[in-house]
Amino acid sequence: MIILTDSISFLKQLLGGSTPSLLPIDQGHQQLFTRLTGEQGGQLWQSDIPTLSLGGERELLLAINAPTISQFDQLANLNDLREGELLPDTIVMVAGRGNNFHGYKGRSWISPPGNLYLSVRFALQQKLAWQGREFLALSALSMLEGIKHVAPHLDGNLGIKWVNDVLVDHHKIGGVITNIQSMGDQVCSAVVGIGINVLTPVELKVEDSFVCGATSLSQHCSDQSNSHGESKDIFSSLFFALVNRLAYNYQQILVDNYTEVWGRYCHHSILIGREIEVFGEELLSTSKAAPVNQGRVLRIAPGLELHLEGESSPVTSGRIFLK
């Protein structure tokens, strides 16, 4: 994977001991960096890590310390062909911090330093049974599995809250968003955005009664060490674990094995078998309106619809309150 960065210190934080030697960026990659990010000026560097891969033939990682706009939105707005030149099969963008980031349904996402903000664009031409909703399951599952790899002692405490949040002991540690571009029945590209509280638990809106609170990975890994008794760098360890799980789960979708990904997503759901109330997407508090639906969750369908006991129509949107 080709690596472009505007910050050697941030790249070292991201890659840890795997940081390669860097060279000043060449003109071709300088132009590509500017086209993809809209950022101009400043010193840029480039390198290559052949072993870092998400399975594409042409792959690119941009590690940007403090982007001024959402990297997820930048990738979601790309076309497959720009100015007559084909884009890389896989584009990964990672930010050290940023402004104007957002979460699911456009909700503001506070982005302080020390947390992992990763967006990936997969270019594919494939018919998918669930019109790209596979990538919502893929990204949430990959985040949970990446965290579990770094902190295996959290295995029984991690869970997915429908549809896009990962929790530790019912406290939010991260969330995912997706964007799908299709032409006819073919999915042309999928963009996933993943935000994980690694060092800093992001403060939630105090009136948001749908989440118990926030936590960070460092709060659960302060005493963790590797097999040699050395302290682990959880930031870079999490990055590599997350890339590994994204690559594996993406390949399952490409070989038409989404059922296996969906099964693991359901296995980690904290909703199945629980009584819930469903509220409108715009609400922050359960006290401001009556639920639009409620009941016990029987199952989550492959398209990620919730099926409630005694209800003929599945739940396809809304904010969930666990009773």
Cα–Cα nearest to 234, from 221, 216, 251: 221
Summarised one tens digit per residue, pLDDT across range 118-177 is: 999 999 989 999 989 999 999 999 999 999 999 999 999 999 999 999 999 999 999 999
Beta strands in 51-103 (DSSP E): 59-64, 81-82, 85-86, 90-95
Look at residue 112 in the predicted model and tell me its pLDDT.
Answer: 73
Indicate the burial class of 30 (C-beta count within 10 angstroms; 0-12, 13-18, 19 or more): middle
Look at residue 320 in the predicted model and tell me its pLDDT.
Answer: 92
Beta bridge partners of 117: 95, 195
Summarised one tens digit per residue, pLDDT across range 243-267 is: 999 999 999 999 999 999 999 999 9
Identify the helix (H) or strand (E) that includes residue 61: strand 59-64
CB 62 within 8 A of CB 14: no
Does pLDDT of 87 surpass 60? yes
**What is the average pLDDT across 13-42?**
90
**What is the average pLDDT across 45-72?**
93
In whole numbers, what is the pLDDT of the chain averaged over residues? 88
**What is the average pLDDT across 287-311?**
93
What is the DSSP secondary structure assignment for residue 144, as one 8-state letter?
Answer: H
Does pLDDT of 104 surpass 70? no
The proportion of the chain whose per-residue pLDDT surpasses 70, expressed as a percent, equals 85
Summarised one tens digit per residue, pLDDT across range 185-200 is: 899 999 999 999 998 8
Token pair listed for 211 = 């989440």
Domains, in order of start, for the chain: 2-270 (3.30.930.10), 271-323 (no CATH)
Identify the helix (H) or strand (E) that includes residue 71: helix 71-76
Beta strands in 252-318 (DSSP E): 275-279, 293-300, 306-308
Does pLDDT of 91 surpass 70? yes
CB 258 within 8 A of CB 134: yes
* 202 vs 204: CA distance, rounded Å: 6
Look at residue 169 in the predicted model and tell me its pLDDT.
Answer: 94
What is the pTM assigned to this prediction?
0.91
Look at residue 38 in the predicted model and tell me its pLDDT.
Answer: 82
Residue 232: band (very low, low, confident or very high) from pLDDT cuts 50, 70, 90: low
Residue 226: band (very low, low, confident or very high) from pLDDT cuts 50, 70, 90: very low
Cα–Cα nearest to 130, from 316, 319, 313, 323: 316
